[in-house]
Amino acid sequence: MLILLKTNFLFKNRETYQSKDHLNGLNYSDLAIEDLVSKDSDGDGVVDWEESLFGTDPTKKETTAGTPDKVTIDKIKASRGGDTKNTSGSGTGDENLTKTEQFSRELFATIAAASQGGTMDPASIEAITTSLAEKIKNPIQRKTYLNPDLKISTDESKESVRKYADALDKIQKIYTVNYTVLDVLQKFIVDDNNVDSSVLSKLDPIISQTEKVIDVTLKTSVPKSLSVLHLNVINSLQRLVENLKDIQLYDTDVIIAFGAINQYNNNANTLEVDMGNLQAAVELKLNN
C-alpha cells in the first residue's frame, strides 16, 4: 500500500458539485489530516468529503432549498441500504471499529477531501503516506511486568546464581517448538501479491510456549542484582507474544497485522539483546 501511494497517479473524484474554493484542492501545510477528515464548511453536521461524495454543496446547509443536506444524504444511504446513524464522519462509534476500519475511513475521507480539485499533488500523497506509516507503528505494550511480579532473592552467592542459571537453561530446553516465527511468515507471504493467512494459526504453539516461559520465569527465584535484567527479558517476551497475536489479526485488522509484521524483527532483536545482557551478567558473577 505504501508503494501504491507513492507512485504517480491521479485520483479522479466523481462529484456532482465543486465550489470555487475547492478548485485547487486542500493545503496540507495548513491543515492536518484529522482536520481534513472532520472539516465541515457549512456547519450542518455533515463533513465536506461526505457532501462531495453524495453530491451536495459543502458550503450550503441546504443544497436543495428546504431540504437539509443531512436529510438528503440519509435518504440516499437508505435507498442504498446503508447505515444512516453516523453520517457526520466525526468519529462517533470509533471505539467499536478496528484499527483498519478507522484508518480506512480516515484514508478514504482524506483522499476524497484532498482530490476535490480532480488530482492529488505529491505533497498530498506524501501526507497520506505519512499517516499510514503512523498507523502501522508498533502499538504500546498492553501488559508490562514490574519488580513486584518477580520472585526476588536476597541470596547473591555464587551457588544461588548458578542455581538461577540452571533454572533458565531448563526452561529453554523444555519449552521449544520445532519451527520459528520466520518459518511461518515465509509461508504467509506467498509472493509479492498474495498471502496465505491460514498459516498464521501455526503461530499458536509459539505463542503458547512463550506464555508458559513467561509464567515459569516469573516464578523463578532471581538474585536481586539480576532482577532488572531478568525483568527486561520477561517484558521482551511479552512484547513478542502481543506482536504475534497482532500478526494473527490479518483477516480482521490488517493495519494492526502489518504493523506487527513490520516491528517483529525489532522486537526479536530487543529480546536477543536483553537475553545476551542477562547471560553476560550471570557469567560475570560465576567467573568472579
The model's pLDDT over 73-105, given as tens digits with 9 standing for 90+, comes to 888 777 755 444 444 444 444 556 666 666 666
Q: How far apart are CA 137 and CA 210, in angstroms?
A: 23
Instruction: Give bridge partners of residue 221 from the DSSP assignment.
Output: 151
Q: Are residues 164 and 255 in the same domain?
A: yes
Helix-helix angle 203-219:158-174, to 10 degrees: 160
Residue 120 clears pLDDT 70, i.e. is over it: no
**81: DSSP letter:** T
Q: Are residues 161 and 265 in the same domain?
A: yes
Q: Are residues 120 and 152 in the same domain?
A: no
Q: Are residues 93 and 153 in the same domain?
A: no
Predicted pLDDT of residue 154: 96
**3-class SS of residue 223:** strand
Predicted pLDDT of residue 104: 62
Q: Are residues 114 and 38 in the same domain?
A: yes
Query: Which range among 72-86, 111-125, 238-252 shows the weakest confidence by mean pLDDT?
Result: 111-125
Nearest to 4 by CA among 111, 102, 97: 111
The CB density around residue 223, as the number of other CB atoms within 10 Å, is 20
State which H helix or E strand residue 51 sits in.
helix 48-54
Decide if 158 contacts 63 (C-beta within 8 A).
no
Q: How far apart are CA 246 and CA 276, in angstroms?
A: 26
Asked if the structure places residue 141 within a domain, the reply is: no
Predicted pLDDT of residue 148: 96
Q: Are residues 39 and 157 in the same domain?
A: no
Average pLDDT over residues 164-180: 91
Q: How far apart are CA 212 and CA 166, in angstroms?
A: 17
Nearest to 210 by CA among 167, 183, 166, 245: 245
Displacement of CA 242 from its chain's centroid (Å): 12
Domain ranges, residue 114:
2-135
Length of the chain equals 288
Decide if 117 contacts 13 (C-beta within 8 A).
no
Instruction: Give bridge partners of residue 64 from the DSSP assignment.
Output: 67
Instruction: Check residues 105 and 237 and name the one with the higher pLDDT.
Output: 237
Q: Are residues 44 and 73 in the same domain?
A: yes
Q: What are phi and psi of 64, to 5 degrees?
A: -100, 115
Asked if the structure places residue 237 within a domain, the reply is: yes
Predicted pLDDT of residue 52: 67
Query: Which range among 134-143, 163-172, 239-248 shows the weakest confidence by mean pLDDT?
Result: 134-143
Predicted pLDDT of residue 90: 42
Q: Are residues 229 and 277 in the same domain?
A: yes
Q: Are residues 51 and 173 in the same domain?
A: no
Decide if 200 contacts 184 (C-beta within 8 A).
yes
Q: Residue by residue, what is the 3-state secondary structure of 144-169? A: CCCHHHCEEECCCCHHHHHHHHHHHH
Predicted pLDDT of residue 132: 62
67: left (phi over 0), alpha (psi -120 to 50) or beta: beta
Residue 243 clears pLDDT 70, i.e. is over it: yes
Q: Are residues 94 and 174 in the same domain?
A: no
Decide if 221 contacts 166 (C-beta within 8 A).
no
Quote the number of domains for the chain.
2
Asked if the structure places residue 142 within a domain, the reply is: no
Nearest to 126 by CA among 26, 10, 2, 259: 2
Amino acid at 89: G
Per-residue cell: 143: 501488559
Asked if the structure places residue 209 within a domain, the reply is: yes
Nearest to 26 by CA among 100, 115, 138, 152: 115
